Amino acid sequence: MKNIAVITSGGDAPGINSVFSGMLNTARNVKIWGYNGGFDGILSNMPKLINNLHTEEFVTDSKLLFQTARSKTPQMKNGIEKIVNKLKKDKMDALVVCGGDGSSKAAKLIDDFGFPVMVIPMTIDNDIDGIDYTIGHDSVINKIKDIINDLHKTAHNMPNRIFMVEVFGGNHGSIALSSAIASGSNMVFLPEYKLNLDKICDEIQKQITQKEYLIIICSEGAYLSDEYSSGNQGISFEIGKLISEKINERIRYSILGYFQRGGSPSSYDSIIGTKSGNLAIDSLLSGKHGYMIGIKNSDLSLIKLDKINLKKKELDKDLVLIAKNKKILV
């Protein structure tokens, strides 16, 4: 192999620039090329050669060296064939895809078509079943924790108030659960657990008499009706309105939105990203392809794409138990 392409696909996540850095190694006789715009960008853009000067400048930044996109081409008729033909036309020998579950499906189709592919899991949601961790998750938890830490201060300064903070995560509650525990929040609403408003209101009224204030983390996917779906921000207002009417208390809202995706990557995401990029290239050069590089049982491992479960990932059982015991999850 002489030329290996890389794309980012789906939502952005801090730490991916470290993947590009890890892919570069002066000991290898291979060139690394990047396309802007995900899978669609392969068709519409020319590849750009990556060098160490690029990665050194961007490695601690969440402004991606190569822009990502949610692509439609892989689902279109002859879409995979068009992508492979363009890669071959550009003299590429293999492709590394940085993305989530949808990107992994497309990557497997390309590999099955006969073009070598490796996948590096990139999603802040940490929702890919079959692996323990996805790049970007630690960074977003740290960012939310820092924001909630500041909220604790103003809540202390102006006590006897209830705050609700809505966070990302889609239909998976890992961001909400982890950030609630890491930030010392008092309660969390998750997509995986049906909301029992009577129990929630009873617990809120009990806690508010014992504490200066309450901070509630609400996942964007913790909706009560079919009117909302993941990505429709504002569900915290609907849930909070019902709670407020029951307990006769005002709730103060904050929707963190896309601020969660920006910011510098954590050290953990930078290190995992670098190691993943390095392993991806080493594996391709040794003839391996059709794998996801993921953390499994604390080790960075190669997992066959057909072994990756694309069903909904379960939440961390230890964190769920802690949340229940602390009455964070009601």
Q: Please state, in angstroms and as integers, the Cα–Cα distance from residue 292 to each residue in 49, 103, 122, 296, following that order.
A: 23, 11, 11, 11
Can you tell me the distance from the alpha carbon of 217 to that of 228, in angstroms, rounded to the nearest whole number?
17
First to last CA, the chain: 54
Do residues 79 and 109 lie in contact, with contact meaning Cβ atoms separated by under 8 Å? Answer: no
How far apart, in Å, are the Cα atoms of 255 and each of 129, 146, 184, 228, 237? Answer: 27, 15, 18, 15, 9
The number of angstroms, rounded, from the C-alpha of 254 to the middle of its chain's C-alpha atoms is 20
Query: Which residue type is seen at 288?
Result: K
Q: Choosing from 12, 125, 127, 138, which is the catalytic residue? A: 125
122 backbone dihedrals φ, ψ, rounded to 5°: -130, 105
Rounded Cα–Cα distance for residues 290 and 108 (Å): 7
- Catalytic-residue membership of 125: yes
Q: Known catalytic residues?
A: 125
